[in-house]
Amino acid sequence: MTENGVADLKNALKQLFSSYGYVKYRMSGFEEYSLYMENRNFLISDKIITFNDLDGRLMALKPDVTLSIVKNALPEKGIAKYYYTESVYRPDRANTEFRELTQTGLEALGEIDGFTTAETVELALKGLSLTGADHVLALSDVRFSEGLLNKFAPNAENREYLTEVISRKSLGELDDARKKGRISDEGVNALKAVITLPQNASEALDIAARYAFGKEAESAIKELRAIVNAFKGTCFEENIQIDFSLTGNTRYYNGILFSGYVKGVAGAVLKGGRYDKLLDTFSTGKGAIGFALYTDEIENLFAEPSCGPDVTVVYGEGADAGELMKTMAPFREKGLKAVAVSRRSFTCAQGRIFVFEGSTLTEEK
């Protein structure tokens, strides 16, 4: 996918979301810094670019889109559906410098039911399919994970540690935790079963159901099964997997989580989930679900490969510019990549090599 291909993807996503009744949401490139500080646990990073507005307020280049939409567009009743293509400003993965990242996503706010949840999953799957790459959408639920950890790690410190172990799917660390008395044999066996689930989503849920401790965890399995069943017999049936290593931020997320992956990209290119708890900061009793697709990652995957020219014409000092341009034209008319390089700048052979002297073009063998 070339640069134009990425633009085509964004347009295709816009048409997809619009066809489901989502409305384009436009926002400013910045918000008051206090918005992000009050909800910093929701952010991927607490490092934010700030500046003082002309009226003295401390502002921030937005590191997140969801917070802006929730703050400004939460409906009083019913449901509001928005999509967006926006830039966010966050540290890179190495945490060494800020990057401008482009993401396209959607948010449904208000009265969220099972259909809206399934529809959001469908849009995530269709969005991934528009990349043209092999893809998978991994589903999880924070209620299941919380039930499992509350059962076998009631100590807050151990629960936090085991959450990290689960996210890394580290079986060896589980054995170490057992030796150190941080979890029982029964707990290790349960966690190992949960993080080594089969790829088939229905089979995975059958196994996970044995470790659904508490009503909330049982509800999570029931809802995940409803979603998986909704896609049986469709073209997306094999693109859904269950992965409880997606644990999420329980301060904000309260239900389903999902991450999308495409072949050839390390890490998720799509992330989303149910985040009703975030809305409690702004209004009680409302729900929310959404996702963001990171088009920068996809652009890197499908960028047109860099390659040298088909033809290199080496010209000497004093060469006639008009004659040289006429000489280059036939190569380009044939669709070849042709470059002219002065003899002084020429360093290595790329493609077929020609020498232009006076008005004569000679190919070097």
Distance CA 191, CA 138 (A): 18
Residue 2's pLDDT is 47
Same-domain check for residues 40 and 149: no
Query: Which single residue is written with the structure tokens 């990425």?
Result: 6
Q: Which amino acid is at 58?
A: L
Q: Is 317 exposed, middle or buried (0-12, 13-18, 19+ CB in 10 A)?
A: exposed
Give residue 47's Cα distance to chain centre: 19
Strands, E assignment, the chain = 23-24, 30-32, 50-52, 58-61, 79-91, 98-110, 135-141, 240-242, 256-262, 270-274, 287-294, 311-315, 338-342, 352-357, 360-363
Same-domain check for residues 1 and 125: yes
CB 81 within 8 A of CB 20: yes
- Exposure on the CB side of residue 313, measured as CA atoms within 13 A: 25
Same-domain check for residues 33 and 123: yes
Alpha-carbon distance values, 267 to 12, 155, 187, 263, 341 (Å)? 23, 31, 28, 10, 41
Distance CA 138, CA 343 (A): 56
Task: Select from 206, 204, 202, 217 the least CA-distant residue to 255.
Answer: 217
> Residues 6 or more apart from 362 whose CB is under 8 A from it?
354, 355
Same-domain check for residues 148 and 2: no
Helix (H, G, I), strand (E, B) or coil at 176: helix
Q: What domain count does the chain have?
A: 3
End-to-end CA distance of the chain: 35
Query: Which single residue is written with the structure tokens 């510019």?
Result: 321
Residue 211's domain spans which residues? Answer: 144-236
Distance CA 62, CA 93 (A): 17
Task: Select from 197, 241, 217 the least CA-distant residue to 149.
Answer: 217
> Residues 6 or more apart from 311 whose CB is under 8 A from it?
331, 336, 337, 338, 339, 351, 352, 354
Give residue 350's Cα distance to chain centre: 38
Same-domain check for residues 88 and 4: yes
Same-domain check for residues 123 and 2: yes
Residue 244 lies in a domain: no
Same-domain check for residues 302 and 276: yes
Same-domain check for residues 154 and 224: yes
Alpha-carbon distance values, 147 to 209, 253, 300 (Å)? 12, 14, 39
Residue 251 lies in a domain: no
Same-domain check for residues 129 and 152: no
Same-domain check for residues 267 and 129: yes
Q: List the beta bridge partners of residue 51.
A: 59
Distance CA 240, CA 231 (A): 9
Residue 242 lies in a domain: no
CB 137 within 8 A of CB 259: yes
CB 127 within 8 A of CB 212: no
The tens place of each residue's pLDDT in the chain, 365 residues long, gives 445 667 888 899 999 999 999 999 988 888 899 988 888 878 878 889 999 999 999 999 988 888 889 888 889 889 999 999 998 888 877 778 888 888 899 999 999 999 999 999 999 999 999 998 999 999 999 999 999 999 998 888 888 899 999 999 989 999 999 998 889 999 999 999 999 999 999 999 999 999 999 999 999 999 999 999 999 999 999 999 999 999 877 788 899 999 999 988 878 999 999 999 888 888 878 999 999 998 877 776 655 555 678 889 888 888 889 888 999 999 988 888 889 988 887 777 667 888 988 888 888 87
Residue 275 lies in a domain: yes
CB 108 within 8 A of CB 118: no
Same-domain check for residues 56 and 123: yes
Same-domain check for residues 1 and 128: yes
